[in-house]
Each structure stands twice: as C-alpha cells, then as structure tokens.
Amino acid sequence: MATVTITDQDAYSAYRAGVGAVIAEHGGAVIAASSNPTVLEGKWEATSTVILRFESPAKALAWYNSDAYQELVRIRQTAATSNFVMLEGRP
C-alpha cells in the first residue's frame, strides 16, 4: 500500500506512465487507487492512495527492488513524498 503526496504533477506523470508495466512484469496488480478516498476517521493528507497485490512478499520485494522500478522511484521521489508499506494478507 502506498500513500503519495504529489508536489509536481508534470514530473509525476513520467512515473505514472511507466509504473503499471513494471508492476505487471512482476505479477502484480493494482486492486485500488484513489485520489479522493472517503475518510471515515482521522486525517488523510495524501493526494493519492494505491493498494497493490502480488502473489507473495518475495514477488513484491522483487518488484520494488528491481532496476526498472528503482529508476521510477528516483522520478517519484523528485515529484512526490510517499509512504510505502507491505502487508501480508490473511487467507
């Protein structure tokens, strides 16, 4: 899951253009994404929230640590501040 506060939409568009293909290459899928979530409690200051699904924690880490994604991370970090967490689902 990631929360992202975009500070430069133009620069972030380069990240957005490439990230889907890299996720798919590693067997991942976007299961939810919103720039306008319904906040039920507390404050939610991120401009974008994304939930990804991978077959295993190992595949998620392979995606995150891949050279292709790390190139995109550098772009994202110039255009936004982010929080990324990995959660393991329950059966």
Residue 91 predicted with pLDDT over 80: no
- What CATH number corresponds to the domain at position 56? 3.30.70.100
Domain count, the chain: 1
**Measured distance CA(48)–CA(62) in Å, rounded:** 23
Instruction: Write down the pTM of the prediction.
Output: 0.88
Q: Residue 89 domain-assigned? A: no
Q: Output the CA angle 21-27-8, nearest 5 degrees.
A: 35
- What the block records as the tokens of 63 is 């995606």
How far does the chain reach from its first CA to its final CA, in angstroms? 18
Range of the domain at 45: 2-84
pLDDT in tens, 4-63: 999 999 999 999 999 999 999 999 999 999 999 999 999 999 999 999 999 999 999 999
Q: Residue 91 domain-assigned? A: no
Other beta carbons within 10 Å of 6: 19
